[in-house]
Amino acid sequence: MMFLEPKHTINELVSRCIAGQRKAQEQLYKQFASKMLGVCMRYATDRMEAEDMLQNGFVRVFGKIADYRGDGSFEGWVRRIMVHSSIEYYRKHHKMMQVVELGETVQEPSAEAAAASSLEAKDLLELIKSLSPGYRMVFNMYAIDGYSHKEIADIMGISEGASKSQLSRARAILKEQVLKLDNKKYNYAG
């Protein structure tokens, strides 16, 4: 017979983690690890690196858990730590491309709804993963994780203008890749 652990609310788990209870840390980890691995995968070059980022992120979560004030969701708080931890890990282990600020931000292309609608989420994630590190970081932080250009600039040590131009360029590249994929599918089906 399998022993089932009692269910605890997030606040109870947080309190128990603050008290240093290993079992609570394990439960919290099990509850959020798969979602947070997905966050780390967006910043990593491969799954092993994402798992390292995840471990580093949880070490930071448990080290800062007493700082969680209950403002907003706990999952959102953990996600922000994972993003910061992943970027820090990436910087430490990879030579980042120099981000060049364009004098004028490139005009954002409008999305092609028909092409995007035929694209599956896994295909889009692969396209995002294929972006150069600078473009990928800014795109993920802005479009997926909801950071402002000011926050991105502060975290990455670049100007807001550089963040905006990196996002614009990333979107243009993604649009081009989506259209190519859509044309391949159309030509293959036709």
Output 17-25 pairs: Cβ under 8 A, ≥24 positions apart.
Answer: 17/62, 17/65, 18/65, 18/66, 25/62
Q: Report pLDDT digits (tens) over 18-65.
A: 999 999 999 999 999 999 999 999 998 889 999 999 999 999 999 999
User: Token pair 């590249």 is at which residue?
Assistant: 173
Tokens, residue 171: 């979107």
Residue type, 114: A
Residue 119 confidence (pLDDT) = 60
- Phi and psi, residue 128, nearest 5°: -65, -40
On the question of pLDDT at 182 being above 90, the answer is no
Average pLDDT value for residue range 62-71: 91
